Structure 1
């Protein structure tokens, strides 16, 4: 049944994309048949919610109409269906697990077992490197061996605790010594779980899964503003990044709005901060029930809120926020005296440039907000100026003596989607010696290197050893390509400081997913 669900969702998105690309008016009969088809098929394949959306739209339509739809009108009418399908079509991100253990052979076994069960696993045989990776990646779970040569693994936990950062990542300590005293020491040092070795791999997986699920629940709580229950800035930033990726991948522009309550200081001064808080909560509650499905409303700070509107033009965004303003002004708040109403001013911007960072977008929207305030408040203005931002390059190298592998990996890298203000600068090398002697390497930039284990002149392990001994530790993220039969080479690579590895023959989707993780760590 899953393949039929995916097929239906794919067909819907393809038809919507076709209408958008055709740049023509759409006959009403086409839209009517489209909605009718979804209504009839969605429930059949088990997509009941989608079926209900389509039925609600179908009830509003006249099957005998002969008029034409503009693309913007059709998109607005179908926005619930489109939003549902876009959300359903995106694959779930795999949780990231970091395992730190001096035994490379065990790391290889655990990594393979957990990745077959939908985790993304990073491993390290070096405690210092594991510490760097922990802060780089912020994993969903840390698995830490207690016994290290010359140092106790619990000192790692104490260093994390003393860093002053609040630890929300669950930590599992593993040890061959599972005596009561040892377990108590681990829990006192900050461990959330303890597992004695040798252990059953299925139990290992289940216990990690429980910790990951718990962290997911914590994260969801942390993404809400405590007072208003609107999303907070952190979540807003993450959704902005996803919309940027859609802009690059599908050329889907979006709009952002900033709204600021008018005369909010006077409200606090007149009615007190308790009533002021009620106004903030009232605005958030109103928005929660009146924004469009798929739009994201967040508290950005103080009395300032922000709104993300996918697949929305500047004109549509202005209309949407004006509608919200008009409705909000009808609400009544109650102080000590007579009921009073509140307004807000807003600025909107359509994001069309793939090189814009959030800070720049907010700055532009804020200029439009300033114009709205200056022009009398209780109004919405759209930003009309230029959208310019700095574009940052990330250097990626493929070092492999096989020309076909270099071509395949280059195609994967060229198609990768990055945040809109980032771009990849790609170079390929047929051996390790030419790579190390390249002028392209002589900069203080940060690099991601895909490095084949076996090459003429200088193999990948030699290249890795030179990089780690001669360059800054944080300048390079290295992914090794190795044979399934070369377990010793995998262990050696991990001991030399490889950040990840992929065994040949590999799947391109797997390489792409791992590269995405490494590239995020150098941005």
Structure 2
């Protein structure tokens, strides 16, 4: 992310300097587009304050206006926004890495206006928010993400015919996730039913937005305390062994049930006894903490790291084949062994060995752990410092399906960031992903790459020069081509614009700035629908 921050600042400064050095007036439409791009990308790469200033300024401009501003007026208008981004870039360092880990809320409500409003309020509090209008749409995402809180409309619980609400409650109980029910009326009867269902809190119509946010914040903070004290290993910060059984049960129940892949990895530090004997147990503890922190920084949000015992760890990887898990762990191994530890005048490096197994619906948890342990034993016997797969599902007679993802966005930083992230996207063994990006709608329609028989997911910016994102969406839907699944990337705050996109057939939308974690989870859900 750091390189995208730097590139964003450089690009914005170049455009600003072009304006400052020019003598011509600037059309209001161009200023609007500049600020729209600035706001969406700034927030996404971590410059929230600058994005807020741009958002406040953009309200004074009209995309349809024919007015122009003089060079002096333009510089004065943009000066405050540019000063903010320069200041934030100057103070930004690696310490901000910790603040990037935001809490995730799953928000489910059938009323789109209510959904949009509450999503915006929660995002102002610093949360990542996944929003859905019904339980079925939230069902898959429930397992793609690890929400820290689930907020559901009471009447969706009441009218659930498929047992999704019960499954949601069971998952929440399993992982200490607060389940909060909301209601558009103030009803004692509904409140009693909600608590009887298993809700941790019930927010009726009489609850103000200030109280709503306060109670949500309190529940999430309490969950963090409980998880840390009950399920976390004190030394390394990884989950402890108590969490392993329930997490494996959940993984086998959901991912395997839906035909998805998941992998179990067991690994431990090579010659750890020699480290303790040669340098002392305090240094051994430092090695354990550094390895755990390194892996937690490198893994995905949905991956689970567990300290199994002593120097041995378990890693549970959803949406990952054993082959992909082996590559991932090998990359971690290469990165960790390049690090050095210093004790007085002596330095040393550390390696680890790992065993990988595919999680299936047949083997018990104990059998899976034994299989991973056998693979780990083979890695040790083969000379350590390596990863071995216990059993591979690489032989597959089914042809590989291709899903194409087109990124259509006029901002170079956003295009590059999304393309890079999507190229690293880990699909399962049944399909592969191809990614291309386009600066505007015209070049997208001119390219024959996405016009074949393969399904195509289009990530479409809402506001672009010449052909607007809404126009691109309308043209795609007018062609009645079901191969295209469309997610709008919109900086528009207007409810009517979002509703219009949904009415025209957008399959999903996400508002800039957004989290890459949330975007990947939504893309994964859309791809599952396309398969």
TM normalised by structure 1 equals 0.49
Higher alpha-carbon Rg: 1
TM normalised by structure 2 equals 0.48
